[in-house]
A and B are shown apart, each in its own frame.
Chain A
């Protein structure tokens, strides 16, 4: 059915207007015996002008007398501000209830102002609850429910459900109109089992997060304006208009003649709600009522580990170039609480701390190195550190073991290295894998330095005094919050000379770019300290109080590449400057590889997922920095008020 046809049919909805309804209360005179009038009414078309005139003359049935040929009830009269079926109309109302009555008995609803609407005998709604309560009722065909739509309902006005008896008009039930929002309306309307006017859809899969909420994916063939939603058994509702939609060739092929098959049929939607719903229903509202399109009660529960959950979730098909949109609508809302729960759980795990030698009591700086995967770099680092005398007197060196696989022999290894190089150090055995941010935050809890130097284990100094030079820059002005040095690859080319933000059109995300990568350091345009948008987390020195004010490293990211720029942006948001110091240079043994983010499908999606989180936090500043890198550190003035 084409959309136009549907709209026409919508227009056929029985409507009530006050102009053509004569008022019963205006004429108290009876024009004839009531019984004769009643007999005459039986011959009239219910709802017709003539019928109305007659009805208006019938007095109310005395409460004690008259036996109704009907049982009926109004379950609700709802006014909603914006009717999904007639967008733009004001105060459209929905009346629903049920009625058991003989086919020749008319029921109608009217208000105090004699606005009147006949309850149709056909196009009724299944009401298993009514059927159950009235077992074997002679007039119950299973479809006792009704749903009517009326314009111009008035809040708090009473609406009457009436019928005609031999003794006059009998009021079966009354109900006050209440103003509700759409979600509450939809959750209170009964289901109509009859065909859904061509709307089709199916929930193919549901993934439930252990931290609450779910993601459903499937398809729906509905017009774009259709009111389609998902509902769990607690009544939580999510509209398909909030879903991520994409084209699905198989649906297009399978329903080639369907009027809406050219629209994006696939949906992936985040459903906030309970931790363990028993079923999810996909429903559509049509003029005939609420229809069930699909129901699913089998769920796949996602792993508690957010990375593994992401691995599963990201397998739901989506084009790479559109994944940023999906991440924003679906993946981030679902995984964020899971990530938060995960990092909270990890925070509660107590690490083991071991000290080798006597660490300087009031260190100028705490150097924090997280270890994951391989740890043979430590020996090389200590070999370099051992030839810098301040490592024995002024610094606190902390290795945070962020890899439970290492726990077995790592202490023995450090014991050996301590004996060999005689550098006092602290190791923190993290017991679990917290990731870059979590591990660094944990180590910071055990750090006593006035500044914190976060250093990757594959970064190696080239000469003595590099820490002092970074400290000098950090302490040169109160407004400086963090400092990062130049890093070079093993081949001597630039690996890091400050970071820039760059919009990647292909994936719709802002990426952190390393300018001048691979060039010889002599081609670095910076030769003295300068403000930077951000510096790499592979080696960054930050003031302790600034670190505390921004609550450390963000743990929102999943094995991400954005923790460092997030940290720098947070530092700048507090009114501090981030500095790039090219006069200090270290070697970073990162593989200089082709900088494409599109090789591994999961990693690409992970990067996009993190990038979207990053830009949702910092969108404005990313654009400002991109437009005017020179003014990189100018956060809006009002933010810099926070500067102590």
Chain B
């Protein structure tokens, strides 16, 4: 190696303030880069929602916060345009990164990719994609607006049906804006093959997009939950955000629909966050579903947790449960469950179906199917041997260091793409 890399990692939030999977993955990777001997220096720049508009300021050594915003979520346009050429460009000039590892453009806008290549034309850009934001205007979820029906492929004609106030031409502009900025990216990373395929269908050249799983902290698996004689592996735990995409309501409905005799053999713990940020109607629905289940002892509503609390919370359940009704990418909770030795019960679609192998390290359930969820939970709670078999089938997820290593090897193999003839990055989308 002739030169040590200097890596700037950007993220749409700092995990100090925002505990999304993308933010955490970005920050962990930044730390892993920083610890490598072949990395000269690593920096972290996270978008922040406080501070003078557009300003950049330090959070701690080599970590910065950027008060950037996006108002136009259709086009992902940076609000504080002047700061792109002042604050951000100056940060680049002073830190001279050889690599930008961008973990998102949400809240920051797409333009900073262009500024990066203008200031540092020789440097490379890695962009990690966490969901379908470039493909889908419906919060990047690829589910139909309003109904949350699963969407299998974008097209201008389909997109205007989700957003009748927009025209086909609007969606053309959106797609081409994203694709043109994406032309500046040297290599794309997705944490799942599922997401990768979707982006290839959308127009990214298959040679330019690779799957690298998010890294996990090195930890030993937890021991099995101690059970008494005659007790079964009947404790299910939900960990994560509670919103209409995450399917907690499916789970609650499934339990409510079971005969009482079956239900009382099942115990569900919900370690959920951010319900308070959801719509009034959604919160009412959850409250309505919760109440009878809590009364008869089936449901424990435990509430939010800090990352360090996760092992102790997971220690108390047998199964980790992911009933999402959207595709998911690579939910961090799957990797965490596997690290801690807990089989996963999940919806049978997208990133979940990819990461959890049915009847090997977990169980697939038809997505959104209330009765199937009830039957599955009931059957698992009554099965004496299945849990042990599935636990034995779990393979250890990759570590932070292994994840960083995978990215470093990418850098050595990908030729730099000159910003003025970057079109080769994208397959013709027309």
Contact = CB atoms under 8 A, between A and B. Distances in A.
Interface stretch (A358-366, A488-496, A566-574): A488-496
A389 B420 contact: yes
A90 B82 CA distance: 86
A383 B181 CA distance: 8
Interface stretch (B171-179, B305-313, B329-337): B171-179
Interface in A446-463: 458, 460, 462-463
Contacts, number: 66
Contact of A380 (B82, B156, B176, B420): B176
- Determine which residue in A416, A419, A421, A422 has the highest number of CB atoms from chain B within 10 A of its CB, and name it: A419
B283 interface: no
Nearest to B171: A490
Contacts of A388: 420
Given A488-B430, A490-B156, A386 B172 contact: no
B183 to A, nearest CB: 6
A491 B172 CA distance: 8
A589 B170 CA distance: 9
A463 B423 contact: yes
Interface residues of B, number: 28
Given A420-B115, A422-B118, A460-B176, A490 B181 contact: no
A384 B173 CA distance: 11
B84 A384 contact: no
A420 B111 contact: yes
B114 interface: yes
B108 to A, nearest CB: 14
Contact of A386 (B85, B420, B430): B420
Nearest to A421: B114
Contacts of B379: none
Contacts of A110: none
B430 A387 contact: no
A575 B81 CA distance: 51
Nearest to A419: B85
A464 interface: yes
B177 A383 contact: yes
Contacts of A592: 168
Contact of A491 (B81, B156, B422): B156
A387 B84 contact: no
A386 B183 CA distance: 11
B423 A464 contact: yes
Contacts of B118: 420, 422
Nearest to B175: A490
Nearest to A388: B420
A444 B173 CA distance: 28
A633 interface: no
B419 A420 contact: no
A463 B173 CA distance: 15
Contacts of B84: 419-420
Interface string A376-410: 01001001101111001000000000000000000
Given A386-B420, A490-B168, A589 B430 contact: no
Interface in A34-68: none
Nearest to A520: B430
A226 B167 CA distance: 59
B295 interface: no
Contacts of A491: 156-157, 168
Contacts of B171: 490
Contacts of A383: 114, 177, 180-181
B60 interface: no
Contacts of B16: none
5 contacts: A380-B180, A386-B420, A387-B420, A488-B430, A491-B168
Interface of B: 81-82, 84-85, 111, 114-115, 118, 156-157, 167-169, 171-173, 176-177, 180-181, 183, 419-423, 428, 430
Interface of A: 377, 380, 383-384, 386-389, 392, 416, 419-422, 458, 460, 462-464, 488, 490-492, 587, 589, 591-592
8 cross-chain pairs, A with B, having the tightest CB-CB distances, nearest first: A490-B172, A389-B420, A589-B169, A383-B180, A419-B85, A490-B169, A490-B168, A492-B430
